[in-house]
A and B are shown apart, each in its own frame.
Chain A
Amino acid sequence: SFELTQPPSVSVSPGQTASILCSGDKLGNKYVSWYQQKPGQSPVLVIYQDSQRPSGIPERFSGSNSGDTATLSISRTQAMDEGDYYCQAWNTTTATVVFGGGTKLTVL
């Protein structure tokens, strides 16, 4: 079955760029979305179709996807960016939705 793998945690210093990886077999052939979830809140879509930002999402958030790895990058990271980030893809073979296990971003 198709699976997405994320590192459990990523740490970054304020003002630096955070990179959160998501890996899956031939993931570059699929579109990836990313969601941010802060404690006690619902997930929020921050990137769709690999690199598109919904309205209201800061330009600091960007995404890319190639080969077996998709990357969510957060530039000029701020304390407010702390939270859990989930990648998600669409398994066209089984017509099912797949989430990565999530990455906890800590801004030290």
Chain B
Amino acid sequence: QVQLVESGGGLVKPGGSLRLSCAASGFTLSGYYMTWIRQAPGKGLEWVSYIGNSGTTIYYADSVRGRFTISRDNAKNSLHLQMSSLGADDTAVYYCARAIEARNYFYMDVWGKGTTVTVS
């Protein structure tokens, strides 16, 4: 079945770096935009970044632009998020999600279970 499994979370010191990965199965990754969304403890959902099918279209939230880099490897059915200069505000559960997009809409139809990043 369609599944997304995140990995790579953990405890990191302020100013440190971490690389998250998301393994996709049950569908062809190259056919979809992919996103990262995070949720700080007790807070709401915050969109982080998305990447287009081929990897040439990339957008970031203002809060992470210049510090985070999204990438994908369609051949390996995987999505990545390289995070650097991490601060306490980056502490969150990070979800990988498949996106359905067109000119007038963009929504996430499949979500992973998330991986926890703690900056302390």
> A residues engaging B (CB < 8 A)?
30-31, 33, 35, 37, 42-45, 48-49, 54, 84, 86, 88, 90, 92, 95-102
Contact among A92, A97, A101 for B103, CB-based, below 8 A: A92
Chain B residues within 8 Å of chain A by Cβ, number: 23
| A90 close to B59 (CB less than 8 A) | no
| B106 close to A90 (CB less than 8 A) | yes
A37–chain B nearest beta-carbon distance, Å: 8
Could you list 16 A-B pairs, sorted by A, with CB under 8 Å? Answer: A30-B105, A33-B105, A33-B107, A33-B108, A35-B108, A42-B111, A42-B114, A45-B109, A48-B105, A84-B44, A92-B104, A97-B37, A98-B47, A99-B45, A100-B44, A102-B44
Q: Does B11 contact A (CB under 8 A)?
A: no
**B6 nearest CB neighbor, chain A only:** A42
| B61 close to A96 (CB less than 8 A) | yes
| B111 close to A97 (CB less than 8 A) | no
Contacting residues, chain A, for B111 (C-beta < 8 A)? 42-44
| A88 close to B104 (CB less than 8 A) | no
Most buried by A among B61, B100, B111: B111
